[in-house]
Amino acid sequence: MIPVASAVPAHRHHALRTRARTALAALMIGSSVAMSALPIPALAKGPDSLAGLAEQVTDAVVNISASTTVEARPSARNTPQLPPGTPFEDLFEEFFNRRGGKGNERGDNDTPRQQRKSNSLGSGFIIDAAGIVVTNNHVIGDANDIQVILHDGTKLKAEIIGKDSKIDLAVLRVKPTADRPLKAVPFGDSDRMRPGDWVIAIGNPFGLGGSVSAGIVSARGRNIESGPYDNYIQTDAAINKGNSGGPLFNMDGEVIGINTAILSPTGGSVGIGFAVPSGTAKPVIDQLREFGEVRRGWLGVRIQNVDDATAEALGLKGGAKGALIAGVDEKGPAKAAGLEVGDVIVRFNGNLVKASGDLPRIVAATPVGKTVDVVVVRKGEETTKPVTLGRLEDSEKPQLANAKQPEPESAVRQALGLNLSGITDELRRRYSIKDSVKGVVVTRVDPNSTAADKRIQPGEVIVEVGQEAVATPADVTKRVDALRKEGRKSVLLLVASASGDVRFVAIGLE
């Protein structure tokens, strides 16, 4: 909904203008001396015209038409129209499929099976005059017929060189004609873009090719939870459906972003659009061109963010920062390099890790097989570990490392708003705790405690307290008392689920 200013009745306009002029005159006379002593503020002003820039780059921006041919469902003439989800829907569909000749290419009465085309329109841009085009992966999807349409209307059939769903990029190849050479645009440095810098977007919104919109960079480093490596540029340049895959230019005519998503309750532009930064996109595009796939670095850890309470419990200097290791893959590079659960990664290959979300992007962009220095904070002290990266495979799932524990004793003690017990066979059965999980079982949680606020639940297992393994409730109490004497304001627990998944939880000691 568009907010509308309060209306003023027409008969009051003259009186309001008269009073406004009188008040303004009095204000100017009364403050003329003071005003003359103050500097005149500079007014924010955009470029006089963006026409020259648009003309410079428009020929390199293309429209993408992607068609997917799929087999149509049985027609409405032959199939009863059943409400979705009806218990008989599958029965009727099977019956009519058999009548329609399922398993062959012709239906009842030798009628050919119908096919339909699913079409999508998007944008793209040429990065190499030899015929290399970049767009979004979601623009082409599983299309079996892709056409690149140049600014002058020329249509060129395209083939897919490679695509990556995690960054949502695709690289296409077309064959330029001898009488129509292609124009390419270069990438710029997205890391140099600041909130407030001017940008223009060119694309094919709603099928209206060659549309130019202008705005500024609104923010950087946006995570919209669309993938594991979110790091979007936010812009208020108008981006609509069909702009996907198109370029976001700086004022030098360089591509500093690839328009990918919008945030909109209406489906149209509300001034919040997102573009993949060129710094993120270019390494992916280079790999797609070279290998036809993306080969990402793999560290072999499961991480979580560090909040203020966790930072205090870990003794981190400078407050919350870095990526806290909550699990180490037994066969991964991190394990071989000596990284441990509870380490906080603060620097990777010379790059600062300000938050946990930074680490996956940095690791993924690092070449497979490269040996890098990883700086971690362990028990309050920084240490550097050289790690040789492996290759990330989509099918790989990290396995969590669990420290060996001594045999527990059966007892119940009160600590941190928790009732605790050593692990017994009966408790393993009651909470379905895996044999590989060792530690102290939570049997009750005080609903008014911080532990309840942190969603600790009965059946979970405390593996470590203050980065020291515990095997009995007495170990927990002893460790908590020691931390209190050290003046700690919070305690860091390593908590495992019944299945063995672990997470760190910081609980205040005050």
Q: How far apart are CA 155 and CA 106, in angstroms?
A: 34
Angle (CA) 248 252 256, round 5°: 30
Burial 171-191 (b: 16+ CB within 10 A, else e): bbbbeeeeeeebebbebbebe
Catalytic-residue membership of 168: yes
Q: Which of 164, 168, 230, 329 is catalytic?
A: 168
User: What DSSP assignment string belongs to 64-98?
Assistant: EEEEEEEEPPPPTTTS----TT-TTHHHHHHHHHH
* Residue 138 annotated as catalytic: yes
Q: Give the active site residue among 65, 120, 123, 138.
A: 138
Please tell me the distance from the alpha carbon of residue 106 to that of residue 15, in angstroms, as a whole number. 81
Catalytic one of 120, 190, 218, 244: 244
H-helix or E-strand containing 386?
strand 381-388
Distance CA 417, CA 10 (A): 67
CA-to-CA separations, 269 to 119, 239, 253, 402, in angstroms, rounded = 22, 6, 23, 49
Question: Bridge-partner residues for 441, per DSSP?
Answer: 421, 461
**C-alpha separations of 489 from 2, 309, 316, 483 in Å:** 49, 8, 13, 8
The token pair at 494 is: 């390593």
Cα separation, 134 vs 144, in Å, equals 17
Active site residues: 138, 168, 244
